[in-house]
């Protein structure tokens, strides 16, 4: 690289868990300089007021969100906002020449009818949405490298799609039989106070939510359909589990060839992800745990075949705040800037 000038970046929506993960990762990135933090409710406060443990490194205020000001100071902007807000800001930033990475659902869909049906927000930025690239590097690396606007995937879709992609791309399963049983730590619910995330409510308990209607369902189906070459419907059920970080997605599907065994699938997955530095396929008979990925940008995948039922079982684990959010966004930016995909991202997790 040899470039002495670091690229100025900003975060809009820096006060949430996604925002603070971005701050941590950006502060450690050798080619990026964090110059702007923005937010509405926290504007005027110091970032250290919100996160005192970062006060020794981050000496930035939370500023009002003014696209003209942001574009003047930043070449790259991360939008870590609730759904329905990024679409109000992104077109203005793009017009000024910024690269934009949206961590909400606003630019995950090229078809805004689908977005409106599931998220309830009417949109008028169809032209902008049509230029967005879905930010899952393991599938769309080349497109991301050419993009100006990236819609970063949700955490559940990231874990689920990395588990399903080789099966769909190579026609190994009957797509309509796919069932995703996924579990997430409480940080996936964000930092705002919610009764179901209180310690007294969530601890010592495990429960499903958003059954048959979770908003990540159409996102998963959209990419699955793209991989399969025809419209695919999947069954997706998320669960809240009493831990802070991590997602485990266990995927079940009927194999087209009941003669395939575990070693065959392990070989297929290893070949599929041979150029994907952030995906680690476990050896036969090894099943990943969420703790392995905690604090890293890695996804661990384990594969099993049940010859009795003719089904494949794929287990995928990620840190929902890193590979499922902030880390993946920086992985996309690395590609957009022509840098190594692993630059500035944690390759070792926190263990134990």
- Active site members: 155
Distance between CA 32 and CA 72 in Å, rounded?
Answer: 16
Distance between CA 301 and CA 314 in Å, rounded?
Answer: 7
SS3 (DSSP) at 305:
strand
CA 14 to chain centre: 17
Distance between CA 126 and CA 129 in Å, rounded?
Answer: 5
User: CA-CA distances (angstroms) from residue 136 to 32, 315, 328?
Assistant: 21, 18, 8
SS3 (DSSP) at 154:
coil
Other C-beta atoms closer than 10 Å to the C-beta of 30 total 10
Ramachandran angles phi, psi of 333, nearest 5°: -60, -40
SS3 (DSSP) at 137:
helix
Question: Whose CA is closest to 307, among 268, 264, 272?
Answer: 264
Q: Check if the beta carbon of residue 296 is closer than 8 Å to that of residue 302.
A: no
Tokens of 38: 């923005």
CA atoms within 13 A on the CB side of 225: 12
What DSSP element (H or E) covers 206?
none
Distance between CA 272 and CA 287 in Å, rounded?
Answer: 18
């Amino acid at each position: 690289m040899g470039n002495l000038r670091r690229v100025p970046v900003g975060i809009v929506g820096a006060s949430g868990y996604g925002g603070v993960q971005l701050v941590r990762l950006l502060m450690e990135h050798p080619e990026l300089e964090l110059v702007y933090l923005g937010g509405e409710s926290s504007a005027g406060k110091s970032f250290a007021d919100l996160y005192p443990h970062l006060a020794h490194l981050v000496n930035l205020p939370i500023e009002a969100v003014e696209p003209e000001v942001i574009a003047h100071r930043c070449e790259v902007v991360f939008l870590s906002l609730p759904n329905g807000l990024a679409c109000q800001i992104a077109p203005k930033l793009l017009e000024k020449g910024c690269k934009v990475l949206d961590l909400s659902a606003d630019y995950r869909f090229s078809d805004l009818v689908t977005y409106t049906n599931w998220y309830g927000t009417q949109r008028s930025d169809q032209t902008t949405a049509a230029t967005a690239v879905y930010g899952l590097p393991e599938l769309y690396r080349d497109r991301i490298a050419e993009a100006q606007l990236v819609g970063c995937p949700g955490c559940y879709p990231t874990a689920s799609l990395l588990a399903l992609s080789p099966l769909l791309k190579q026609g190994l399963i009957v797509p309509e039989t796919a069932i995703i049983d996924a579990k997430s730590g409480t940080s996936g619910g964000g930092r705002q106070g919610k009764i179901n995330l209180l310690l007294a409510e969530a601890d010592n308990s495990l429960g499903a939510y958003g059954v048959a209607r979770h908003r990540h369902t159409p996102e998963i189906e959209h990419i699955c359909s793209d991989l399969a070459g025809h419209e695919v419907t999947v069954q997706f059920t998320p669960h809240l589990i009493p831990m802070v970080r991590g997602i485990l997605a266990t995927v079940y599907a009927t194999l087209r060839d009941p003669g395939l065994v575990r070693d065959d699938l392990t070989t297929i997955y290893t070949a599929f992800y041979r150029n994907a530095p952030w995906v680690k396929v476990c050896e036969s008979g090894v099943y990943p745990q969420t703790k392995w990925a905690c604090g890293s940008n890695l996804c661990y995948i384990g594969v099993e075949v049940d010859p009795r039922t003719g089904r494949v079982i794929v287990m995928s684990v990620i840190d929902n705040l890193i590979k499922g959010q902030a880390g993946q966004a920086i992985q996309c930016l690395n590609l957009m800037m022509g840098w190594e995909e692993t630059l500035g991202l944690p390759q070792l997790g926190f263990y134990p």
